[in-house]
Copies of this chain bind each other. A is one copy, B any other.
């Protein structure tokens, strides 16, 4: 009676190999030796203003910023889409956007406005912000996300990943997270999610499947850091970097007339903030720390291969 034994041993083998895949980190799957520290230096908000486009392009061309995501509904999207077309190797994702958080300079949906009434305010712009009691319709969100991706594709942008402006689609509950995940699967694109968020938002982990890319950690500077501690904050983050993949979510831009005017109602994520991010992530100091600490850069294009390698 050898047959049941063979079956049992095959099943046990399958189980072991599945467990071993589950235990494998992103870095393992991509073939990096244990302990390797990898970072995505990811610029958010391309398309929002010219000053953000221009600064990020300079950082990408300097090589120390290596990934970015684009806001399709924003007025300067055509400029960055044009750049993406002529730089097909650039690691550009889409920064899916459902809010228009500024006061003097605003934007609205890509989808036809009357198809997405719950995401627009009384003047037809995206809401400034989502209040606790705001009813955001998940079906309309899906229509708008698909419209943003379709416009990007039509304009020659081939995104390597998706993420969510102000984390609205990550932090607003399971229903909206499932929308971005469903859309990502439909377009075969990874979504930026990190294990760091699982404790506060358990639905993330339960919704994700084995084929989804999950970044180990993320670092982003917060308003609590005073301007004079900017460099210190980032240097500490790099010094304390854990093995695996960490995404640095940064917001480069030039502190010029346009960006100052566009963000003047508050200093958080404003023009001076963005200039500080630009300055640090294009500095020789940053480049030297990467070399000294043997920290490697990795793009979303490479991370997406982890799924293909399974």
Given A257-B257, A262-B50: A76 and B103 within 8 A (CB)? no
Answer whether residue A211 sits at the interface, using C-beta atoms and an 8 A cutoff: no
Determine if A287 is an interface residue (Cβ-Cβ < 8 Å).
no
In the complex, which residues of chain B have a beta carbon less than 8 angstroms from the beta carbon of A131?
none
Task: Give which listed residue, B51, B75, B154, B261, contacts A105 with CB less than 8 A.
Answer: B75
Residue with the greatest number of chain B CB neighbours at <10 A, chosen from A78, A106, A107: A78
Q: How far is the CB of A148 from chain B (nearest CB, A)?
A: 11
Q: Does A240 contact B (CB under 8 A)?
A: no
Complex Cα spacing A206 to B106, Å = 40
**Interface bits A144-181 vs B (CB < 8 Å: 1, else 0):** 00000001001100000000000000000000000000
Given the interface pairs A78-B105, A79-B104, the reply to whether A54 lies near B257 with Cβ below 8 Å is yes
- A201 near B: Cβ within 8 Å? no
Residues of B within 8 A of A18 (CB): none
Q: Is A60 an interface residue (CB 8 A)?
A: no
Contacting pair B114 A112 (CB below 8 A): yes
> Which of B75, B110, B257, B262 sits near A124, CB closer than 8 Å?
B110
Q: In the complex, what's the smallest C-beta–C-beta distance from A137 to chain B, in angstroms?
A: 16
CB under 8 Å from chain B, chain A span 201-248: none
Verify if A301 is at the interface (C-beta below 8 Å from B). no
Asked if A103 and B78 make an inter-chain contact with CB atoms under 8 angstroms apart, the answer reads yes
B interface footprint on A245-285 (CB within 8 Å = 1, 0 otherwise) = 00000000010111001100000000000000000000000
Q: Which residue in chain B gives the minimum CB-CB distance to A152?
A: B123
A51 and B257 within 8 A (CB): yes
Contact assessment for A105 and B76 in the assembled complex, using a CB-CB cutoff below 8 Å: yes
Most interface-central of A49, A50, A75, A104 (chain B CB within 10 A): A75
A107 touching B75, Cβ below 8 Å: yes
Q: Across the two chains, which residue of chain B brings its CB closest to A83? A: B104
Q: Per a CB cutoff under 8 Å, which of B78, B111, B257 touches A104?
A: B78
Q: Smallest Cβ distance from A233 to chain B, in angstroms?
A: 28
Q: What are 6 sample pairs from A and B whose C-beta atoms fall under 8 A apart?
A: A50-B257, A50-B262, A79-B104, A79-B261, A114-B115, A123-B155
- Contacts A49-B258, A54-B261, A122-B154 supplied; 13 other A-B pairs, CB < 8 Å: A51-B258, A76-B104, A78-B103, A78-B105, A78-B106, A79-B105, A82-B103, A112-B112, A112-B113, A112-B115, A113-B113, A114-B114, A258-B258
